[in-house]
Amino acid sequence: MGQAFDRDNAVLGEAEGQTKREVFEKLIDKFPDADRIEIKSRPSDAPVTPTLAAELTGEPMLRFFDYAHLPEKLQLASAPFASVAIHVAHTLERSAERTACLRKLLEAKDCAVRATL
């Protein structure tokens, strides 16, 4: 998400996109006379999906924790594991142990989803 501002710091408008570059280009096109443009990775109140977290942290394993495509019953089983995986990727240094932790979480998530079936 991004915003364009005038010289008085009044918001001229907003734009959203998949990447910061896309947001920037939309804002430049809409508000070519903007004095300042600010771009954020995501709105602070938006949920962090595993795919978004994978982009932000550079941890590709997080994409395996996506659950939006699952039926609601299976989402309930899968969502807590996604939250923990995102927390792990954001708080621990990249290492073999972090990768092992995520792999074991993924195995546990898969077991929980199968148990729900």
Using a 10 angstrom Cβ sphere, with 0-12 exposed, 13-18 middle and 19 or more buried, the burial of residue 101 is: middle
Please state, in angstroms and rounded to a whole number, the distance separating the CA atoms of residues 105 and 61.
Answer: 11
Structural domain boundaries in the chain = 2-39, 50-116
Instruction: Determine the Cα–Cα distance for residues 20 and 50; give it in Å rounded to an integer.
Output: 18
Which of 50, 31, 63 shows the shortest CA–CA distance to 39? Answer: 31
Confidence (pLDDT) at 25: 87
Q: Which amino acid does the sequence have at 6?
A: D
- What tens-digit pLDDT sequence spans the chain (117 residues)? 788 888 888 889 888 877 777 888 889 899 998 888 888 765 555 566 787 777 777 889 999 999 989 999 999 999 999 999 988 988 899 999 999 999 999 999 999 999 999
Token pair 């792990």 is found at: 88
d(CA 108, CA 82): 11
**Beta-carbon count within 10 A of 81 CB:** 21
Cβ atoms of 23 and 4 within 8 Å: the answer is no
Q: What is the DSSP letter of 22?
A: H
Q: Whole-model pTM above 0.95?
A: no
Max CA pair span of the chain = 58
pLDDT at 14: 87
